[in-house]
Structure 1
Amino acid sequence: MQLIGMLDSPYVRRVAISLKRLKIPFEHQSLSVFRDFEAFSHINPIVKAPTLVTDDGVVLVDSTLILQYVEGISAASLLPENSQTQALRLIGLALMACDKTVQIVYERTLRPTEKQHQPWVERVVTQLHAAYGELEKSTDSLTCNPLMQADISVAVAWRFTQFYTADVITPEAYPQLAKFSAQAETLPEFVSTPLD
């Protein structure tokens, strides 16, 4: 299997960490959807990260769908049997936080300053704070023992947001998430899959 995409994408990183946690062998090709557009398009014409090329040569996109496939071929699951609804809620909040962080990054880096729409940015920031506010209240559900998908997704989201928008979401505002993420980042699956 091949995982295509840069680890500065939280979606690529959560798939890579999950594959390692499930002990599923894969090769990682660190291609950028921006800098390596042409090379990426030869693997996947829609140039979407993450892209997973299965052992059968099927090209899959979207981290959640990729992880659904991976769990289908694995003997283990990263979703708990007893509290799947809570886990899915946390994963959804983490992915929403990733989406909103991406929107802020794109607004800041791809749109000229004079074309940035401040009401839109404020709305996205409000949504990002709402997601992290809900996650902060739920940190008692995150343990990394054993390391599950909710743990991976929340820790990856937090690190991504801190890497790109630490001026918007501060550790002081969400101390339990900051503490949890720092703990997760010491685990072998995270250490061997650095964001930067």
Structure 2
Amino acid sequence: MRLIGMLDSPYVRRAAITMRLLGLSFHHEPVSVFRTFEQFRAINPVVKAPSLVCDNGVVLMDSTLIIDYVEALAGRSLMPADLAARQRDLRVIGLALAACEKAVQNVYEHQLRPAEKQHQPWVERVDGQRTSAFALLEEEVARLAVPVQESALSQAQLTTAVVWTFTQAMLPGAVDPAKHPAIASLTAAAERFAAFEAYPHA
């Protein structure tokens, strides 16, 4: 299998780390949707990262859908089987991905759109949504134990850590770690695991 996309994308990174934790063999190809658009389009005309080229040539898109497929392929999941625990983890993942989406929108607004075309009310709305998502995420993560072993890492913890690292790297100073100690502690622990070190935010 080939995982296409840059590791500065939190979506590519969460897929790569998940696949490694599941013990799956794959080749990561750091192709950019911006700098190498045509190269990416030759692989997937939609040019969406991450893209997973399966062994039979089928191309899958969207990190959540890719993770669903690779978990089925591996025959195991990073999600709990217990319904109540699964509901909790789905809420955590949903909040983390919502925060991530709003962080990405802010990055795109400031890095891709000319300053004279930026719409400040839109930026303020997006930033407010991100703030709310991280505040709620902090409440949820505070109820979780900090992982001490890579093998115990859940998809909720994995996704939260990837999103936090991305946000701190791309929007420095925008989300105060002092106000999110549970998320910061979880991320510090996760980033020391071999799977995270193998696929660092770049």
The two structures share one fold, judged by TM-score above 0.5: yes
Preserved CA contact (<8 Å) 2:146 2:185: no
Q: What's the CA shift for 1:142? A: 5.0
Q: What's the CA shift for 1:184? A: 0.7
**Runs of 4+ off more than 2 Å:** 140-145
Alignment-derived partner of residue 190 in structure 1:
196
SS of the equivalent of 2:28 reads strand
Q: What's the CA shift for 1:194? A: 0.5
Please say if 1:120 is aligned against 2:126. Answer: no
Give RMSD over aligned pairs: 1.0
Report the residue type matching 1:116 in the other structure. Answer: Q
Alignment-derived partner of residue 162 in structure 1:
168
**Unpaired segments ≥5 residues, structure 1:** none
Report the residue type matching 1:119 in the other structure. Answer: P
Please say if 1:73 is aligned against 2:73. Answer: yes
TM-score, normalised with respect to structure 2: 0.94
Q: What's the CA shift for 1:178? A: 1.1
Residue number among 147, 153, 156 corresponding to 2:153 in the alignment: 147
Preserved CA contact (<8 Å) 1:142 1:150: no
TM-score, normalised with respect to structure 1: 0.97
Preserved CA contact (<8 Å) 2:146 2:189: no
Alignment-derived partner of residue 33 in structure 2:
33
Report the residue type matching 2:163 in the other structure. Answer: A
Equivalent-residue separation in structure 2 for 1:20 and 1:73 (angstroms):
13
Equivalent-residue separation in structure 2 for 1:102 and 1:147 (angstroms):
25
Equivalent-residue separation in structure 2 for 1:77 and 1:180 (angstroms):
20
Aligned ranges for residues 92-131 of structure 1 at < 5 Å? Answer: 92-131=94-133
Percent of aligned positions that are identical: 51
SS of the equivalent of 1:3 reads strand
Instruction: List per-residue Cα deviations over 1:128-151 (Å, max 9, x = no partner).
Output: 011110111112225335111101
Instruction: List per-residue Cα deviations over 1:49-82 (Å, max 9, x = no partner).
Output: 0000011110000001111111111121110011
Alignment-derived partner of residue 182 in structure 2:
176
Q: What's the CA shift for 1:167? A: 2.1
Change over 3 Å in CA distance of 1:75–1:143 after alignment to 2:
farther
Report the residue type matching 1:77 in the other structure. Answer: S
Please say if 1:61 is aligned against 2:42. Answer: no
Q: Which stretch of structure 1 is more off in the superposition, 21-30 or 170-179?
A: 170-179
Alignment-derived partner of residue 19 in structure 2:
19
**Unpaired segments ≥5 residues, structure 2:** none
